C-alpha cells in the first residue's frame, strides 16, 4: 500500500509530532507509515482520514 500522508501533512504544515498527537499514536508510528514501513490498522486509518477530512481511499491506495 502507498499513501499520501507526508504530502498531506506538509500541506497542513503539521510536524510529525503534532500529527501523532492528533491521532493518538506515537511519532514513530507516523514515521513508519509515512516511510511505508507498514500500513496503519483500520481504526487508525479512519482517524487519519478524519483528521484530513478525506475518504480513506484518497489517502491510501494499493500500489
Partner DNA sequence: ACACGATGTAAAGCACACTTTACAAAGATT
Partner DNA sequence: AATCTTTGTAAAGTGTGCTTTACATCGTGT
Question: Which chain residues interact with its own copies by CB under 8 A?
Answer: 1, 39-43, 45-46, 49, 55-57, 60, 62
Strands 60-61 and 2-3: antiparallel
Q: Which does 34 bind (CB under 5 to 8 A by kind): DNA, its own copies, none?
A: DNA
Residue 62 interacting partner from DNA, its own copies, none (CB closer than 5 to 8 Å by kind): its own copies
Q: How far apart are CA 42 and CA 17, in angstroms?
A: 21
Question: Which residue is it, cell 492528533?
Answer: 22
**Which residues lie near DNA (CB under 7 A)?**
15-17, 24-29, 31-35, 37-41, 43-44
Amino acid at each position: 500500500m502507498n499513501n499520501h500522508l507526508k504530502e498531506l501533512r506538509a500541506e497542513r504544515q503539521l510536524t510529525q509530532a503534532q500529527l501523532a498527537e492528533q491521532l493518538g499514536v506515537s511519532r514513530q508510528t507516523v514515521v513508519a507509515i509515512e516511510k511505508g514501513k507498514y500500513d496503519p490498522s483500520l481504526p487508525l486509518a479512519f482517524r487519519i482520514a478524519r483528521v484530513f477530512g478525506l475518504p480513506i481511499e484518497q489517502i491510501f491506495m494499493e500500489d
